[in-house]
Amino acid sequence: MSGEAGGGDEQATRTSLDRHHVLPAGTLVAGRYRVQSLLGVGAMGMVYRVRDERLRLDVALKVLRPERAPDAAMLERFEQELVLARQVTHRHVVRIHDIGQDGDLHFLTMDHVDGRSLKQILQERGKLEPAEAVAIARDLAEALAAAHAQAVVHRDLKPANVLVDGAGRA
> Regarding beta strands 115-117 and 96-102, do their DSSP bridges make them parallel or antiparallel, or are they unpaired?
unpaired
Reference 23, options 35, 15, 13; nearest CA is 35
Q: How far is CA 84 from the centre of its chain?
A: 15
Q: Which of 58, 139, 156, 165 is catalytic?
A: 156
Cα–Cα distance for residue pair 101/143, rounded to 1 Å: 29
Active site annotation includes 156: yes
Cα–Cα distance for residue pair 163/169, rounded to 1 Å: 8
Where are any strands of DSSP class E within the chain?
28-29, 33-41, 45-52, 57-64, 96-102, 105-111, 115-117, 163-165
**What are the C-alpha distances in Å from 57 to residues 41, 82, 104, 112?**
22, 20, 25, 9
Q: Catalytic residue numbers?
A: 156
